[in-house]
């Protein structure tokens, strides 16, 4: 991202329109991806960090142009693969994401 600090500042300020403008040329715009769901983030804020995140990560990726897919069940494994991008939703996605990575490496070296 060309101006990541300004994008982050817009997210913190809650200015989604400005964030979208700053992310206009993000290389992963239009890709399918996953990240902690908003409800998973809330759990982590309340139970682990005991502090609030600066901004909502799923919304940040959407503002950047990503197509975010999360499970309906918090902390269920979820891996989304789109072209070269392999993303996992949460720590329980570790085994499936490792399998996806190995499969991608096998395809690349075949």
Question: Tell me: the pLDDT tens digits for 42-80?
Answer: 999 999 999 999 999 999 999 999 999 999 999 999 999
Q: Is residue 68 part of a domain?
A: yes
Cβ-defined contacts of 3-7 (< 8 Å, 24+): 7/64
107's tokens: 């395809």
| CATH (domain of 83) | 3.40.50.880
pLDDT at 110 over 90: no
Q: Is residue 74 part of a domain?
A: yes
Q: How far is CA 6 from the centre of its chain?
A: 18
pLDDT at 1 over 90: no
If phi > 0 it is left, if psi is from -120 to 50 it is alpha, else beta; for residue 94 that is alpha
**Quick check: pTM over 0.85?**
yes
Regarding beta strands 67-68 and 32-33, do their DSSP bridges make them parallel or antiparallel, or are they unpaired?
parallel
Provide the domain count of the chain: 1
pLDDT in tens, 77-105: 999 999 999 999 999 999 999 999 999 99
């Amino acid at each position: 991202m060309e101006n990541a600090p300004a994008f982050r500042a817009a997210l913190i300020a809650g200015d989604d329109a400005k964030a979208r403008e700053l992310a206009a040329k993000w290389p992963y715009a239009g890709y399918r991806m996953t990240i902690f769901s908003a409800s998973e983030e809330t759990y982590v804020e309340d139970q682990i960090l005991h502090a609030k995140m600066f901004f909502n990560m799923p919304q940040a990726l959407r503002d950047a142009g990503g197509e975010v897919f999360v499970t309906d069940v918090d902390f269920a494994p979820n891996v989304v693969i789109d072209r070269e991008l392999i993303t996992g939703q949460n720590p329980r996605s570790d085994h499936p994401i490792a399998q996806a990575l190995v499969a991608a490496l096998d395809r690349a070296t075949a």
